A = this chain, B = another copy of it.
Amino acid sequence: MAEALRLAHQAASEDEVPVGAVVVHQGKVVGRGYNRRESDQDPLGHAELMAIREAARSLGSWRLMDCVLVVTLEPCPMCLSAAQQARVSQVVFGANDPKGGALSLGYRVHEDPRTNHRFRVELEENAECSQVLRDFFKKKRAAGPV
């Protein structure tokens, strides 16, 4: 989670909503990502998708077997479903996202018995993961409307 947090701070420094993600395989980080939606003008520029894509490239396979996706914020439905498509074995996130998080909204694809891959998704609460977001939006508000 330390590396994911470093990536979240990197996002903030580029004026992006600070979310960072890594994919870990056998104790090693094989994929990294941070939110770049505005910089890249890419609707798919979420931290998780970037980390998943990089991990698949590193491992040479679209099946991220025995991989854990670690992300600072609860994944949105797109990213949780992407983790399922990628067959990750676990997702760990550091802070809840009551407005946009897949679990918070009730889209629990990861435990749907009708799908062909299920996995655990766990909150490992981390104060810094929410703090980096609070700081970012506080600064935004102080700067006033753009």
Contact = CB atoms under 8 A, between A and B. Distances in A.
A41 B85 CA distance: 12
A137 interface: no
Interface residues of A, number: 36
Contacts of A49: 44
A135 to B, nearest CB: 23
A53 B45 CA distance: 9
A60 B41 contact: yes
Interface in A83-104: 84-87, 99-100
B43 A85 contact: yes
Given A78-B78, A99-B114, A114-B105, A61 B41 contact: yes
A82 B43 contact: yes
A3 B135 CA distance: 46
Given A99-B114, A114-B99, A109 B77 contact: yes
